[in-house]
Amino acid sequence: MDWNDARIFLAIHREGTLRAAARTLNLDQATVGRRLAALEHDLSAALFARTSKGYVLTPAGKLALQPAESMERAAHDLTRQTQGLDKKLAGEVKVTTTDAIALEFVIPSIERLHAKHPEVCVRLNTTTRLLDLATREADIAVRTVRPRNPGLVARRLASWEVGLFASEDYLNRHGLPEEGAAFAGHDLVVYQPYIDAAREPALAGEPLQRGRIVARFDSNLSLRAAIKAGIGIGEIPVNMGARDGLIRVWPSRRREAPYEIWLVTHKDLRRTARIRATIDEIVQSIEL
């Protein structure tokens, strides 16, 4: 099995169908099917059982999985280490971040990067899923949590206070919530991943039991828009609330955990010219 065959094999295993594997590999479905048939012929073994639920590894396929994954790791290591020596300010840079950070900071950094180095192309992926830098799903990650994976270099770019905000329209209709009343009589909008992770869900240290959660979001950008629309009271970074023209509720209170921004790349790539230039512009955007 060579690396091209291993890529086909792993994509089918991970995606479960020829169509999904072809989409991942940027190939057509017929090509993926032919390549799999040729590989199984060369190995004199069926690697997958075709079932109603998709392609499932056979015993032979399970034996092939670990060597194929080892080939994948070696190929990614080779790519990272050789690209780390690339001095050309040209080519693609894959960046992953959240939608809020992309809008506020990464897109302005792309504008400046393009003005200075027009041959560099940024491929931006906005997702809350943590993409794998070791396997080149991304070259640069701008995250709100610090990764602990080996081989990654992380730099904290910001640590912002998080407070409670509402729109002027909301406060005109509902008034200020009473401290210690657990948001009785008030509508709340929440960032669901933070609520899920908390032992005792709260906003700015105030329990939520008597409030009414009217919307839950997995996007900070959507949460900010909901607060601005007057849907309810919510918790966001103080600088973002001020920028959106919102009113801070209980200014002396804040969330215990700050909102942090971490810039992450793989140690083998951080000296690549186009990646270094992209990092510099992102850092400048956040530090302005």
d(CA 38, CA 47): 11
Q: Which residue is listed with tokens 């991970």?
A: 14
Same topology, domains 91-160+260-287 and 162-257? Answer is yes
Structure confidence at residue 81 (pLDDT): 64
CA distance 183 to 248: 15
pLDDT at 89: 86
Domain range list for the chain: 3-83, 91-160+260-287, 162-257
**202-252 pLDDT, tens per residue?**
999 999 999 999 999 988 999 999 999 999 999 999 999 999 999 999 999
- Which residue type occupies 250? W
Residue 287, pLDDT score: 81
Q: Tell me: domain 3-83, CATH 1.10.10.10, correct?
A: yes
Asked whether 8 and 64 are in contact (CB, 8 A), the reply is no
Pair 41, 60: CB distance under 8 Å:
no
Q: Which CATH number fits domain 91-160+260-287: 3.50.50.60, 3.40.190.10, 3.40.50.300, 3.30.70.360?
A: 3.40.190.10
Give pLDDT tens digits for 111-153. Answer: 999 999 999 999 999 877 777 777 778 899 999 888 777 778 8
* pLDDT tens per residue, range 162-216: 999 999 999 999 999 999 999 999 999 999 988 888 788 899 999 999 999 999 9
pTM, whole model, 2 decimals? Answer: 0.67
**Is 162-257 CATH 3.40.190.10?**
yes
Distance CA 11, CA 14 (A): 5
Q: Which two tokens stand for residue 165?
A: 């905000």
| Closest-CA residue to 218 (of 190, 255, 244) | 190
Number of other residues whose CB lies within 10 A of the CB of residue 63: 12
Among residues 193, 189, 182, the alpha carbon closest in space to that of 233 is found at: 189
What is the rounded average pLDDT for all residues in the chain? 89
Summarised one tens digit per residue, pLDDT across range 14-50 is 999 999 999 888 888 999 999 899 888 888 889 999 8
**Percent of the chain at pLDDT above 70?**
95
Supply the pLDDT for residue 124.
94
DSSP 221-279: HHHHHHHHTTS-BEEEEHHHHHHTTPEEESTT---SS-EEEEEEEETTTTT-HHHHHHH
Question: Cα separation of 119 and 86, whole Å?
Answer: 14
The average pLDDT across 258-268 equals: 89
